[in-house]
Amino acid sequence: MRGKAFTGLFGIALFIVFLLLSSQLFDSDHLLGRLRVIIVQPGWIMFMFVAYLLSFLLKAAAWRAYAGREHPIGLYLHGMFYSLLINHLLPIKAGDLVRTGILMKKTSMRWDNALHSVVIMRLADMLVLGVISGLGMLWLGMTMSWLAVAAAAAALLAAGAALRFTPMRRWTFAERHITQLKAIVLSRQGPYILSLIAASWVLEAAILFGIAHMGGIEIGAVASVWANSVTIGGQIFHVTPGGIGTYESTLSSSLAVLGVSWDEAYATALLAHAFKFAFSFIVGAYSLVRMPIGLREARDWLRMPRKSNLHTNSTSERTF
């Protein structure tokens, strides 16, 4: 509960920063001018859309590699599109629960097994984003505390050792999931899954790269990937639909660190986030048509974690 409270407070703080930035930097004429430049360049729009779509395809492939290859990748892709849509409609990150529900429904997987795969994918995202952010700082020549690097490395080694050697027989529920995690991470699948996730985040940076270049802001590919990774990492403090405010504050600050003026950084952040909102509604609508789910069903999935006497469809429980 303390962790949730801290996350919420930090998210609110970032939203307040966004409001302060907006009071100083919002310029409708400048934003409309930047938007007109984007609209008349369909090649860039298509480039950003395809790159972003491919990034989700790679994430879906990574999720499928972890959860089970016998089901079509389209199932996992629709799950991610639904998650993206829900996260852009609700002030909390509830999309992962709907994503879990879709996997449970379409594969007859137990709720806890489906949720396990979604949580592991989120943890893998955070790990990859953290590594990209750290390496990006080194590559771009930013000041970085070697004490922090050593502490992060020690934490990773400790987590790896705990995963490898800790006996889980005392916790039957946890043992089943830890055993699955060990089997994947310590096999050839582990690096493959992490590579897919890393490539997906590199592709997602195409949105920032494209929006910046259409606005005459010259930032390189590495800088775009770094700024995007730092910004997405900041979305764990999501307290508004789509992380409005959190995204803009974090990306504006990241671009300012790279030498972009605050007014251009702010405008770029707004336009990049607007593009992601548009994308989420487009692919979400596509999933609603191709793999429709009922409103009551989705609402039940959102309530799942609060139900202690859950009865899920376990007629064909999967063995990972």
Q: Can you tell me the distance from the alpha carbon of 299 to that of 99, in angstroms, rounded to the nearest whole number?
A: 12
pLDDT of residue 183 exceeding 80: no
Could you tell me where the DSSP H helices lie in the chain?
2-25, 28-39, 42-67, 73-87, 95-107, 111-139, 146-165, 172-185, 189-204, 206-214, 221-233, 246-257, 262-290, 295-303
Q: How confident is the model at residue 178 (pLDDT cuts 50, 70, 90)?
A: low
pLDDT of residue 308 exceeding 60: no
- Look at residue 156 and tell me if it is in a domain: no
- Look at residue 155 and tell me if it is in a domain: no
According to the model, what pLDDT value does residue 42 have? 95
pLDDT of residue 50 exceeding 50: yes
Give the C-alpha distances (Å, rounded to integers) separating 146 from 7, 11, 125, 142, 160: 26, 28, 23, 12, 21
According to the model, what pLDDT value does residue 295 have? 80
- What is the DSSP annotation of 6-55? HHHHHHHHHHHHHHHHHHHH--HHHHHHHHHHHHT-HHHHHHHHHHHHHH
According to the model, what pLDDT value does residue 120 have? 87
Q: Can you tell me the distance from the alpha carbon of 265 to that of 256, in angstroms, rounded to the nearest whole number?
A: 6
- Look at residue 181 and tell me if it is in a domain: no
pTM for the structure as a whole: 0.84
Percentage with pLDDT > 70 across the chain: 78
- Render pLDDT for 226-235 as a digit per residue (tens, 0 to 9): 999 999 988 8
Q: Can you tell me the distance from the alpha carbon of 62 to that of 265, in angstroms, rounded to the nearest whole number?
A: 32
What lies within 8 Å, CB to CB, of 198 at 6+ separation is 128, 131, 132
Nearest to 55 by CA among 196, 263, 226, 210: 196
**Which of 78-82, 106-110, 251-255, 295-299 shows the lowest mean pLDDT across its residues?**
295-299
Residue 26 CB burial class (10 angstroms; 0-12, 13-18, ≥19): middle
- Look at residue 10 and tell me if it is in a domain: no
What lies within 8 Å, CB to CB, of 220 at 6+ separation is none
Nearest to 227 by CA among 206, 196, 198: 206
Q: Can you tell me the distance from the alpha carbon of 42 to that of 19, in angstroms, rounded to the nearest whole number?
A: 31
Q: Give the chain's mean pLDDT.
A: 83
- Look at residue 206 and tell me if it is in a domain: yes
pLDDT of residue 205 exceeding 70: yes
pLDDT of residue 297 exceeding 70: yes
**What does the block give as tokens for 218?**
């010259």
- Look at residue 160 and tell me if it is in a domain: no
User: For the chain, how long is the longest CA-to-CA vector?
Assistant: 63
Percentage with pLDDT > 90 across the chain: 52
- Look at residue 100 and tell me if it is in a domain: yes
Kindly state the average pLDDT of the residues 84-107.
89
Q: How confident is the model at residue 51 (pLDDT cuts 50, 70, 90)?
A: very high
Q: How confident is the model at residue 145 (pLDDT cuts 50, 70, 90)?
A: low
pLDDT of residue 316 exceeding 50: no
According to the model, what pLDDT value does residue 144 have? 55
- Look at residue 106 and tell me if it is in a domain: yes
Structural domain count, the chain: 1
Q: Between these two residues, 8 and 140, which has the higher pLDDT value? A: 140
Site of tokens 């879906």: 60
Q: Can you tell me the distance from the alpha carbon of 190 to that of 66, in angstroms, rounded to the nearest whole number?
A: 9
Q: How confident is the model at residue 74 (pLDDT cuts 50, 70, 90)?
A: very high
According to the model, what pLDDT value does residue 108 have? 84
**What does the block give as tokens for 23?**
């009071």
Domain encompassing residue 235: 41-141+191-305
